[in-house]
Amino acid sequence: MPVIPTQIIMITGGALTVYGGLSLPLTIGVGALGVFAGDLACYLLGRSAPDRRAPRHAEPSRARRVAGRVTRGLRQPGPLVILLCRFIPGGRMAACFSAGRSRYPYRLFLCYEAAAAAAWASYGALVGHLGGTALTESAWRLAVIAVAAAGGFAAAGWAMALISTRNARTATDILKKAQR
């Protein structure tokens, strides 16, 4: 875990585009490049991790079943998971490591990760920039920005929950049919 969360750095950088003379596009670009490099390293660690699967005849542990669900979920809505886990503290590292561990195609990972890194860096820098601008003009604008951001995250969380519920039902139906 980082000592200083990267989102705070991006928001501060965005605020400094208003107060400190930083360039907003350059701040977004550097932030996106930094998280892209970190996520790529996490993906490569997952890809190089030794395979320690249980023997086929053994009953899988609870941890292995949970890891299996995460891996299956990552393979199905890959772009959505990679993009949305970027905004969950610790979620980006788990998603990137799991993508590498499950041998998610690296070309797709690079494409989706580039989009996720750009979206994340843009979000962080723009929150800081718009927040800094709103504080210089009026406090009610900051409240509107906060409500809009909270609504966006709530909608994204709802969408992820809906998708994972649908995938879990599909997996359960397949298992029931296979047991018959």
pLDDT at 73 over 60: no
Range of the domain at 18: 6-52+59-179
**Quick check: 132 and 19 in contact, CB under 8 A?**
yes
Asked if residue 173 belongs to a domain, the reply is: yes
Average pLDDT value for the chain:
78
1 assigned to some structural domain? no
* pTM score over 0.75: no
Task: Report yes or no: 46 and 99 within 8 Å, Cβ to Cβ.
Answer: yes
CA distances from 149 to 85, 100, 101, 138, 155 (A): 16, 30, 32, 18, 10
* Per-residue pLDDT reduced to its tens digit, 132-178: 877 777 666 666 766 787 778 778 777 777 777 776 677 667 666 76
Residue 122 is assigned to a structural domain of this protein:
yes
Q: Where are the alpha helices (DSSP H) in 49-105?
A: 62-75, 78-85, 91-101
Q: How many domains does one find in the chain?
A: 1
Question: Is residue 29 assigned to a domain?
Answer: yes
